Structure 1
Amino acid sequence: MISQPAANTPDGPAADGPLDDCGLGDGTRPGGAPSRGTRDDGGVPGRGAALRRALGRRPNPRALASGISLLVICTLLTAGMLAPVPYVIEQPGPAIDVLGEHEDQQILTISGHETYPTSGALMMTTVSVDGGPGYTVTPAEVVLAWFDPTRTVLPRELVFPAQQTRQETSLQNASAMTTSQEDAVAVALTELGIPVTPNAMVAGVLDDGPAAGVLKAGDVIVSIEGQTRASTEEYQQLIGSLPAGERIDMVVRRDGAEQSVSVPTEEVDGRTRMGIVLARGYDTPVDVTISLADVGGPSAGTMFSLAVYDELTPGELTGGQKIAGTGTMDPDGTVGPIGGIRQKLVGAREEGADYFLAPADNCDQVAGHVPEGLSVVKVSTFDEALHATETIASQKSADGLPTCSS
């Protein structure tokens, strides 16, 4: 879709000699013969005077013009290949064992309930995206990515909303990750008969937003202006309906204790805003913490739920196998589709995974792109993902399990 013409030299030979690729000539014709005005007299008197006249001649205007033109062309081509373009490049990111550590920190920690030893690996998979808000890619990088089957080039507006800043993107990804973790934990606990109660929590606060320094990520909303609501969406609607520019009284639960705060507001697009992102959370007797620095998005839900279930149940869920996967996890246990499935398959295999749990709704993107040695199993719900993992553990293969081609 984007191509660059090869640099062309001016038509015909240069007036005063050959040109290099992006510079001026050396003042001689091919073979080193003097360009004009002198000859090798073999010692004939007058040779020195002729040489002095040749060295002192003025540059040929045609040669100078040709050299300058080529230099300009090379400069424009170089600048064009380095200029930012509105595309993003998706490529395989790391596959991370949720049962292990990431950046020297245990990913999954659980208190308030007995835990059991685990083995093998339950690997969440990621996609590295170049060219998002605050970052750029060049035409050269885009062209190289087009010829790499493990990478995908997409118009930026298909991935990121227009005018979205780097911080807003990070905050959005953090919110999606928080919601994913909360839903995954709730699904696993519900499967084990442990009660969970939904709440609304602050997933992130804009650094330059009105609520900065007042609210914190992790605050659970108890009430707003003395009013309680049943869901995150209803609290969002309540905030939007209040007068902009005035402070809003809230009660939040922070570190287990309730406290009152007064939060400034502003008007954005005709609605009242605090500069926060709310996420769905849950109250539960089991304290589950998932620590993953610099990783965002909702697609690890399926693997989070399996990891929590594994740690809270006797026996080793994976049977020592390395199982990777992806997929969002809805509160009702539905596994949802995600982006970048082809890159995630590659990343999983590169990290040594032998099996991959893929959302059923991504199967059309999986077929024909499975790395050699990787068995891909199709799943639609948490129960199906759990059954697939237990089957792989017991028979050390994915034989008999549904695939994206069956």
Structure 2
Amino acid sequence: MSRRHATIFSSLFLLIGLLCAMLVVRVPYSELSPGPTVNTLGHHGGDPVLNIEDRKTYPTSGHLNMTTVRVTSADYQMSLPEAVYGWLRDDSAVVPHDTLYPDGKTAEQAEQENAEEFSQSQESAKAAALEELDIEVPTRTVVAAVVKDSPAEGALRAGDVIKAVDGEPVGRPGEVAELVTKHKPGEDTEFTVVPVKEAAAAEKDGEDPTKGRTKKVTVTTAAADDDKRAIVGIQAGSAYTFPFPIDIKLADVGGPSAGLMFSLGIIDKLSRTDLTDGEFVAGTGTIDAEGKVGPIGGIQMKTLAARSAGASYFMTPEANCPSATRNVPNGLKLVKVGTLQDALDALKSVREGTPEEIPVCGRD
């Protein structure tokens, strides 16, 4: 064999080896791509997405679609060619794995966290919608979550109604942390709570869950990891007693980003006004009980999914506008919203045929 042929064969074998290595080597990245969209006014899996009982509802038209993003699972390891291919595509995004799954979160942990966030977002969406409709919703401060291996573990439970901290009445979730941080780490703080079982039983019987038998629980505070603040290891949140059942059925969806669209769907069904007047509107955004809309992840993938499904308007959280405007699908108007009222005002402009009055991302 000539030296020239030997060099060619050696180079060929080296190239094959490199290609094989590329297929074997895994890189710490994950991929996002457009997911399915679901009309909150319609059906999914044979059931209505929003089922409202014991209250008059009204016919709706058009779409108020929530949008989703497909992501590779926490335990999936991308190959280098997959990552490169994803970077080159316009309909996907490749991001560092830790961006989606920080602190080595497992697939099971991520799924559980997404399910909890989805459940909490539903409650906030219902509360915001009914508040907008001037329907009173009794609210109580509860233990939303207990941090594993924290001082509160075993002493407090998720769902416990927090009546007072150190004898000071609690009216909103933020007051819990304010009262706890008055202590120094290592000091005791006393919680007055209605245990979750008693609160749930009272609500099931149609009684006020905050009026149940209370008990006092003493928890020794610890120091926060980042500073010298006193903490007990709970997340305080709000729970609501809704005056009529509102059931949101949407399997295989997690996270809090559908909150805004659920609120709009509920308002549409409970209002004489047809919010969309037959238009195809999609969107995303978290929402709190006061109607404030928050940012979400994967905004560009959601706009692609919305336009592919047929949407003409996309409700975009104000904080997401800079990212969303980098690659706007043709024919999709990005409606800038910071509150539930902003979204309702934009829908009014859609109905009245005055799109020039709609605040749009990228246009101040």
- Interval of TM-score (by shorter of Structure 1 and Structure 2): 0.7 to 0.9
Match of residue 14 from structure 1: 6
Could you tell me how far 1:315 is from its partner in structure 2? 3.1
Match of residue 208 from structure 2: none
Match of residue 38 from structure 2: 96
Distance in 2, matches of 1:402 and 1:203, equals: 35
Distance in 2, matches of 1:100 and 1:203, equals: 30
On the 8 A contact 2:142/2:162 being kept in 1, the answer is no
Could you tell me how far 1:223 is from its partner in structure 2? 7.2
Distance in 2, matches of 1:177 and 1:84, equals: 31
Match of residue 358 from structure 2: 401
Q: 1:317-396 to 2 correspondence within 5 Å?
A: 317-395=275-353
> Structure 1 residue 109 and structure 2 residue 55: aligned?
no
Q: TM (normalized to structure 2)? A: 0.75
Q: 1:69-148 to 2 correspondence within 5 Å?
A: 70=14, 74-75=16-17, 77-131=19-73, 133-148=74-89
Q: How has the CA–CA distance of structure 1 residues 388 and 204 changed in structure 2, closer, same or farther, with 3 Å as cutoff? A: same
Match of residue 115 from structure 2: 174
On the 8 A contact 1:146/1:153 being kept in 2, the answer is yes
Which residue of 195, 198, 206 corresponds with 1:251? 195
Q: 1:19-30 to 2 correspondence within 5 Å?
A: none
Distance in 2, matches of 1:199 and 1:182, equals: 12
Distance in 1, matches of 2:97 and 2:258, equals: 23
More relative contact order, 1 or 2 (CA 8 Å, 6+ apart): 2
Q: 1:134-283 to 2 correspondence within 5 Å?
A: 134-200=75-141, 221=161, 230-231=171-172, 251-252=195-196, 253-254=199-200, 256-257=203-204, 279-283=237-241
Could you tell me how far 1:83 is from its partner in structure 2? 3.3
Match of residue 290 from structure 1: 248
Q: How has the CA–CA distance of structure 1 residues 232 and 76 changed in structure 2, closer, same or farther, with 3 Å as cutoff? A: farther
Write the deviation string for residues 229-257 of structure 1: whole angstroms up to 9, x where unpaired: 54556779999x999xxxxx972233634
Q: How has the CA–CA distance of structure 1 residues 220 and 251 changed in structure 2, closer, same or farther, with 3 Å as cutoff? A: closer
Unaligned 5+ residue runs, structure 1? 1-9, 23-69, 244-248, 262-266
Match of residue 207 from structure 2: none
On the 8 A contact 1:174/1:203 being kept in 2, the answer is no
On the 8 A contact 2:160/2:194 being kept in 1, the answer is no
Match of residue 34 from structure 1: none
On the 8 A contact 1:88/1:155 being kept in 2, the answer is yes
Higher deviation after alignment, 157-166 or 184-193: 157-166
Distance in 1, matches of 2:264 and 2:52, equals: 14
> Structure 1 residue 314 and structure 2 residue 277: aligned?
no
On the 8 A contact 1:242/1:272 being kept in 2, the answer is no
Could you tell me how far 1:199 is from its partner in structure 2? 3.0
On the 8 A contact 2:86/2:94 being kept in 1, the answer is yes
Distance in 2, matches of 1:197 and 1:382, equals: 20
Could you tell me how far 1:150 is from its partner in structure 2? 2.1
Determine what percentage of the aligned residue pairs are the same residue: 35
On the 8 A contact 1:299/1:328 being kept in 2, the answer is yes
Q: Aligned AA for 1:166?
A: A
Q: CA RMSD in A?
A: 4.1
Unaligned 5+ residue runs, structure 2? 188-192, 205-211, 216-221
Write the deviation string for residues 287-329 of structure 1: whole angstroms up to 9, x where unpaired: 2221221211122121111111111111321111110011221
Could you tell me how far 1:363 is from its partner in structure 2? 1.8
Q: Aligned AA for 1:110?
A: I
On the 8 A contact 1:327/1:359 being kept in 2, the answer is yes
Distance in 1, matches of 2:313 and 2:289, equals: 25
Q: TM (normalized to structure 1)? A: 0.68
Distance in 2, matches of 1:173 and 1:198, equals: 24
Write the deviation string for residues 11-58 of structure 1: whole angstroms up to 9, x where unpaired: 73139x968966xxxxxxxxxxxxxxxxxxxxxxxxxxxxxxxxxxxx
On the 8 A contact 2:349/2:357 being kept in 1, the answer is no
Distance in 1, matches of 2:331 and 2:239, equals: 38
Q: Aligned AA for 2:345?
A: H
Distance in 2, matches of 1:364 and 1:394, equals: 28
